[in-house]
Amino acid sequence: MDRLGAALRQAAERGDWDALAAADAATAALLRERQARGAEAGDAAALARLRAAHAHAQRRCAEAAADAGRRLLELSRRQDAVRGYAAAGEGA
Alpha-carbon 24 to chain mean position: 9
Q: Quick check: is 60 in a domain?
A: yes
Q: Quick check: is 11 in a domain?
A: yes
CA dihedral sign of residues 66, 68, 70, 72: negative
Model pTM greater than 0.75? Answer: no
Q: Quick check: is 79 in a domain?
A: no
Q: Quick check: is 45 in a domain?
A: yes
Q: Quick check: is 12 in a domain?
A: yes
DSSP 92: -
Domain span at residue 22 reads 2-65
CA dihedral sign of residues 33, 36, 40, 44: positive
Q: Count structural domains, the chain.
A: 1
List pLDDT tens digits, range 33-79. 877 777 665 677 777 777 888 888 888 888 888 999 999 999 999 99
Neighbours of 12 (CB within 10 A): 24
